Each structure stands twice: as structure tokens, then as C-alpha cells.
């Protein structure tokens, strides 16, 4: 069996999948951290791999950018491939002055102006929640690795480029610490399908200090987050 967007066969994919946005980051993670990685998806170059980490089967697959994209891939993984847990590992921009580039943030919840949950299943809430069990595994993994983790509220935005004249303050108005573009749809899909999702992000740029990281750094320097996610994945 395959889907319109994934040519994996049932059984090819591990029950826990790490999802970076960038498919090339999925390739990098698989080739750097997994033993015997095998590519299970080639459709639209949305690379997905399964391999082992410390002897346990784990998968990693790109989600693409934005809620419609992660909405499709995560729904298919949960519904058609028996996936139980998805840990999004991404980058985010910091709204909070307390956060610096390369800080690692675990979503305690996410807020969005998106209509994804409404359009998908009639859910009118503007807040979606991660799995407490998966968050606990992630916090435990970070503690064991001695890596500092900040719990925060994610703004899952539909828009990367806002009009200059549009004044927004998601930090003060909605309590959002960082901004990315996927977790709201992922958490909603997990909820409607009775599955588990979490979201770990590394701060790649600050909307307060305007510090930025390069594309190359984004691909290679997020080792802390990947290690946490992999340790959590094998214990999930
Ligand atoms: N906006 C939205 N998504 C992001 C950003 C941002 O500034 N930085 C990293 N992901």
C-alpha cells in the first residue's frame, strides 16, 4: 500500500517518527545518527528513512513547511502506516527576549490564528496541545543528556512574511515565546487520530535581537535537539 504522497509499504516505518521541516535535514539526520538507514519515501523528494538508533527502530521524514504540508504527511503516517508518535524537530524565531539563538524549546502548547483544526474537523480552539507522555520522555531525555530545555508556548503561524504595516505582538497578546509554522496542525491530527505528538524547536533567529543563523548552521548545528529527540524516540 502507498498513499498519494508516500510510497512506503506498511511496516517500513517505525512507530516513532522524527519530523524536521526540511527533507534534506531528514537525510542528514538519518545518515549521521541512524544505523543502516533505508529510504522509504521518494515522492516529491520528501525523504523519509527508517534505521536503528542504539538498536531500536526509528524513522525520520521531512514534513515540508506550513500546516497544509505537515497536515498531509502526519495524517498519512498516523492513519495508514501505524505510526504512534511524531516528534517535530524544527527551527523557530524567538519572540521572547529571554531566548537566544540555538536555545532549545519544547512546546507546552501552541496558539494559532490558523483555520486548520476548524477546516479539518470542526475544532474551534485556537490552542492545541502536545502529548503529555511524549513531552515527559523528551524532558527526561534532555535531563539525562544534561541539555537545557525551555518549556514555551509556540505560535504556529500561517504567515512567514507579514505586511510591514501590520503590527503584531503575539508575545504580549497571546503569550507566545517562539514562532514556527507546523505544530498546530500536527497536534490537532494526533488528537483526532488518538496518537501522540510533540514539538521541539531550536531558535534559529530572534525577532527581538535580530540575531540570525546561516542555512548551513541550521542544517548541521542542531545536534542537541536531534540527540534529545532520538533518545526520547527509543523510549517512547
Ligand atoms: N517565522 C516563522 N517560522 C519560523 C521563523 C519565523 O520567524 N523562524 C524559523 N521558523
* 163-176 residue pLDDT tens: 988 888 999 999 99
Q: Which residue of 160, 162, 208, 209 sits with most ligand 1 atoms within 8 Å of its CB, as the best mutation to test the pocket?
A: 160
Structural fold of domain 16-233: Rossmann fold (3.40.50)
Q: Does the pLDDT at position 219 exceed 90?
A: no
- The protein residue whose alpha carbon is closest to atom 2 in ligand 1 is 180
> What residues are paired with 20 via a beta bridge?
none
Q: Which residue of 205, 210, 221 sits with most ligand 1 atoms within 8 Å of its CB, as the best mutation to test the pocket?
A: 205
Residue 214: what pLDDT? Answer: 79
Q: Which residues line ligand 1 (CB under 6 A)?
A: 91-93, 157, 160, 179-181, 204-205
Question: In the annotation, is 205 catalytic?
Answer: yes
Lowest mean pLDDT across 18-22, 50-54, 115-119, 222-226: 222-226
- List, for residues 159-214, the tens digit of each pLDDT value: 999 998 888 899 999 999 999 999 999 999 999 999 999 999 999 899 999 987 77
- List, for residues 49-89, the tens digit of each pLDDT value: 999 999 999 999 999 999 999 999 999 999 999 999 999 99
Per-residue b/e over 200-232, b at no fewer than 16 CB within 10 Å?
bbbbbbbeeeeeebeeeebeeebebbbbbbbbb
- List, for residues 132-152, the tens digit of each pLDDT value: 999 999 999 999 999 999 999
Catalytic residue among 22, 164, 173, 205: 205
- Prediction pTM value: 0.96
96, three cell numbers: 521572547
d(Cα 107, Cα 110) in Å, to the nearest integer? 7
In percent, the amount of the chain with pLDDT more than 90 equals 88
- The protein residue whose alpha carbon is closest to atom 9 in ligand 1 is 92
d(Cα 34, Cα 55) in Å, to the nearest integer? 9
Mean pLDDT on 12-34: 96
Q: How far is the CA of 157 from the centre of ligand 1 (A)?
A: 8
Q: How far is the CA of 52 from the centre of ligand 1 (A)?
A: 31
Residue 36: what pLDDT? Answer: 98
- The protein residue whose alpha carbon is closest to atom 7 in ligand 1 is 93
**Mean pLDDT (the chain, rounded):** 95
86, three cell numbers: 511524531
- The protein residue whose alpha carbon is closest to atom 10 in ligand 1 is 92
Mean pLDDT on 114-118: 98
d(Cα 221, Cα 43) in Å, to the nearest integer? 27
Alpha-carbon distances, residue 8 vs 32, 85, 88, 92 (angstroms) = 22, 17, 20, 29
Q: How far is the CA of 165 from the centre of ligand 1 (A)?
A: 19
Domain segments of the chain as ranges: 16-233
Amino acid at each position: 500500500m502507498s498513499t498519494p504522497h508516500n510510497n512506503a509499504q506498511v511496516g517500513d516505518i517505525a512507530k516513532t517518527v522524527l519530523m524536521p521541516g526540511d527533507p534534506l535535514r531528514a537525510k542528514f539526520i538519518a545518515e549521521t545518527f541512524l544505523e543502516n538507514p533505508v529510504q522509504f519515501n521518494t515522492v516529491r523528494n520528501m525523504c523519509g528513512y527508517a534505521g536503528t538508533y542504539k538498536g531500536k527502530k526509528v524513522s525520520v521524514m521531512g514534513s515540508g513547511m506550513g500546516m497544509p504540508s505537515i497536515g498531509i504527511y502526519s495524517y498519512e503516517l498516523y492513519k495508514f502506516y501505524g505510526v504512534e508518535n511524531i516528534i517535530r524537530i524544527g527551527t523557530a524565531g524567538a519572540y521572547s527576549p529571554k531566548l537566544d539563538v540555538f536555545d532549545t524549546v519544547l512546546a507546552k502548547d501552541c496558539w494559532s490564528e490558523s483555520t486548520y483544526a476548524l477546516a479539518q474537523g470542526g475544532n474551534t480552539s485556537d490552542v492545541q496541545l502536545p502529548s503529555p507522555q511524549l513531552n515527559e520522555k523528551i524532558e527526561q531525555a534532555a535531563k539525562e543528556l544534561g541539555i537545557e530545555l525551555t518549556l514555551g508556548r509556540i505560535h504556529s503561524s500561517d504567515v512567514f512574511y507579514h505586511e510591514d504595516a501590520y503590527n503584531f505582538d503575539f508575545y504580549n497578546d497571546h503569550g507566545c515565546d517562539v514562532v514556527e509554522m507546523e505544530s498546530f496542525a500536527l497536534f490537532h491530527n494526533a488528537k483526532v487520530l488518538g496518537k501522540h505528538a510533540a514539538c521541539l524547536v531550536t531558535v534559529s533567529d530572534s525577532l527581538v535581537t535580530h540575531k540570525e543563523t546561516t542555512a548551513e548552521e541550521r542544517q548541521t548545528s542542531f545536534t542537541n535537539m536531534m540527540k534529545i529527540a532520538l533518545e526520547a524516540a527509543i523510549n517512547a
